[in-house]
Amino acid sequence: MPGIGELISPDLLRFRAQTLGMWVQLTDAATIATDASLSDFFYVTLGGNRTLGAPTNLPPAATLHKKGLLYRIRQDGTGTRTLAFNAVFRFPGAVTPTITATANETSYLAFIYNEIDSTWDQVGQMLDLRA
């Protein structure tokens, strides 16, 4: 298992074959909504301090244990935007990651669904990627 500073390989997350590589843009809003039926890969540029809402439209229970999500979070040209998380997201050591605050920089966060606890468990991250 990768360390906290490493991004887990997408093939280990068991992303659905039909959406592998298909990035879906999320709407920047106070609470950022993710429709998990659209893809496994999502991106957004933050225009203010935001909260990542609980993903909706999950697959049927029989396949839910195979669900993974990868988020690409980018700061806008101003930077210093923060990202909070809905309570369904769970982090190693209960430490919520701090995404890069640098303008126009990117952070990646990877999660898998834990069907036992009904949580999205963080399994990887890459923060402060420079252009």
Alpha carbons 75 and 131: distance in angstroms, whole number: 11
Residue 21 banded pLDDT, cuts 50, 70, 90: low
> What is the average per-residue pLDDT within 101-109?
96
> Is position 91 within any domain?
yes
Q: Which residues contact 89 (CB under 8 A, 6 or more apart)?
A: 52, 111, 119, 120, 122
Alpha carbons 50 and 3: distance in angstroms, whole number: 26
> Is position 83 within any domain?
yes
Q: In the chain, at which residue ranges do the beta strands (DSSP E only) sit?
A: 23-25, 31-32, 41-46, 50-52, 68-75, 83-85, 89-90, 106-114, 119-129
Res 32: pLDDT:
98
pTM over 0.85: no
> Is position 76 within any domain?
yes
Lowest-confidence segment of 21-35, 60-74, 92-106 by average pLDDT: 60-74
Res 131: pLDDT:
63
> Is position 100 within any domain?
yes
Domain count, the chain: 1
> Is position 121 within any domain?
yes
Mean pLDDT for all residues in the chain: 86
> What is the average per-residue pLDDT within 94-123?
95
Q: Which domain holds residue 60?
A: 10-129
Res 128: pLDDT:
80
> Is position 5 within any domain?
no
> What is the average per-residue pLDDT within 36-61?
93
Contact yes or no for 50/76 (Cβ under 8 A) = no
> Is position 4 within any domain?
no
Alpha carbons 41 and 51: distance in angstroms, whole number: 18
> Is position 45 within any domain?
yes
